[in-house]
Structure formats: structure tokens, C-alpha cells
Amino acid sequence: MKKVFIRQNSWLARIAAERLGFSRLAIVVGRQIHLHNTSVQEFIKDKKWLLHELKHVEQYERGILRFFKEYLFEYRKNGYYKNRFEVEARAAETEVGLLDKYDLSLYMML
């Protein structure tokens, strides 16, 4: 299993939430999930949200720089909801096998 770090009250997630107009948000950078306006416990209980973000972790594993560049290109071209990476992450919200790939239990950064 691969370690995934979760950071609560992340300044990065706060900025992204403000920019996107979301009251709460999770944003992934590599194997780190940054949270804004939600606790680690609330985030982990929301399986759809957790699986969505784990799919983004998996997308990063295909190549960090490649993912970052392609995500920004998709965002500029298609917006947030039609971005192919977001479409793929929404489709993964029932993909419970992702939970077997990542270890969240002992690596939470508060």
C-alpha cells in the first residue's frame, strides 16, 4: 500500500476554494490531499469524496508534471466539470478498490 498524506486546514486548499467559489474543498498534489473547511474525519467518512480524490492521486502517479500540465490545459479548455480528469475522478467515486491501494490511517498530517 502506498502512503497518502492528508493535510487539514491547508492554505493551498483555501486559496483554491476561494478561486473556485467552493465552501469546502480537497485538492491533490502528488500523494498529498489538502483540505479546506472540513476535517480529516469528515473527509474520510465521505467515501465518494475520498475515492474521487484518491483517483486524482492515481492520476498524479502517471507522471506529476504531465498530470499538472494536462490538468491545467483541460481546465482552461473545458472548465472544471468537463475537465477529463474530473470526469474520470467522478466516475471513480464507486471504485472501492482504490481503498486497497492507499494507506490513509497512520499518515495524516494535521
110 pLDDT more than 60 = no
What residues make up the domain containing 16? 2-109
108 pLDDT more than 70 = no
pLDDT computed for residue 106 by the predictor: 47
Rounded CA separation 16/24 (Å): 10
CA 53 from chain centre, in angstroms, equals 3
Distances (CA, A) of 64 to 11, 69, 98, 106: 21, 9, 19, 24
Average pLDDT over residues 83-110: 86
Claim: this prediction has a pTM higher than 0.75: yes
* Number of domain units in the chain: 1
pLDDT tens for 33-83 read 999 999 999 999 999 999 999 999 999 999 989 998 999 999 999 998 999
